[in-house]
Amino acid sequence: MSYMPAGAPNTMPGSRQRMSAKSTGAGVGDFTGAGAPAANALAGTCAVGDRYTDLTGGQLYICTATNGTSTATWVKVGTQV
């Protein structure tokens, strides 16, 4: 499965698109893909607060945790933990 930053059709899959700069470094990326993000999807690329849109199911996910290299946790918006 490949992931593409939203609105950036000429970038490499899995690359990060910065939408705005924040001093905290969180919540600056938008990603899209077909289907829900797999376990650790975009690890090393995403930051806490980044958004992922499932273009197939029309669902929105938020990155809630990452170690910056090998793990990423995505939670569907509207889902209770």
43-67: pLDDT as tens digits: 999 999 999 999 999 999 999 999 9
Mean pLDDT over each residue of the chain, to the nearest integer: 76
At residue 79, the pLDDT reads 64
What pTM did the predictor assign? 0.65
Sheet with 59-66: list strands edge to edge: 4-5, 30-33, 51-54, 59-66, 72-76
pLDDT at 80 over 80: no
Domains of the chain, by residue range, sit at 1-81
For the chain, give percent helix, strand, coil, nearest 5: 0, 30, 70
Q: Summarize the confidence of residues 64-76 as an average pLDDT.
A: 95
* DSSP H or E stretch at residue 10: none
